[in-house]
Structure 1
Amino acid sequence: MRKTKIICTLGPASERTDVLQQLIHAGTDIFRVNMSHADHRSVRDVVPRIRALAVEAHRPVAILLDTQGPAIRTGELKVSLELREGDILELTV
C-alpha cells in the first residue's frame, strides 16, 4: 500500500475532462484548486466533473481548495440574512 499521495494543481489547461480523466488514471489522489486564481464558476463546474470521473474510475479522489490564508473573502448577499446565537450557517461553493 502506497503511503504517499500525488497532488495535481489544476489550471485552465488541466481542467478539461479528458485531461482530468488521464490524471486520475495516472494515479492522482488529490486535485488542488488555487482559489487565489480560480473563479467560483469554474470551481462549481470542475468539482462535480472530478467527482463523476472518480466514481467512473472506482478511485477515491480528494479535492483541495487552497485559499490565500487568513484572508476573509466576502461578497454581497442577494437576500438579507439575520443570524441569531445558535444558528448554523453553511457556506458552499
Structure 2
Amino acid sequence: MTAITRDQVAHLAALAHIEMDETELESMSSELDGIVGAVQSVSAAPIDDVPPTSHPLPLSNAFREDVVGETLTNDEALNNAPDAEDGQFKVPAILDED
C-alpha cells in the first residue's frame, strides 16, 4: 500500500508554489513513500520497557573545583606583546568609525 500518492505530492507542490513535472512527481512520491515506510518501521520497534533518556550513555560531571592558581602580573602578560599602551594590549583598529 502506498502511503504517499502522486496526487498528494502534486497538491503539496501547488501549495508551496513549486513547479514539478510528471517525472519529478513520480520520483518524489516514491522517495516520500520510502521515508514514511522507514518511519513506520521505527515506530513499530518494541520500546515499552525502554526508559526515556536524553543520552544513550550515562554521563557524569567532569568539572573540577575552580581553584585560583598562579597568575601572571600585568607586566609579565605584556612582556612579549608586539605593542602595549597604558598597561593594555594595543591592537590595530578593525572598524572604520567616522
Q: Same fold (TM over 0.5)?
A: no
TM-score (norm: length of structure 1): 0.21
TM-score (norm: length of structure 2): 0.20
Structure whose residues are more often strand by fraction: 1
Structure whose residues are more often helix by fraction: 2
Structure with greater Cα Rg? 2
Higher relative contact order by CA 8 Å / sep ≥ 6: 1 or 2? 1
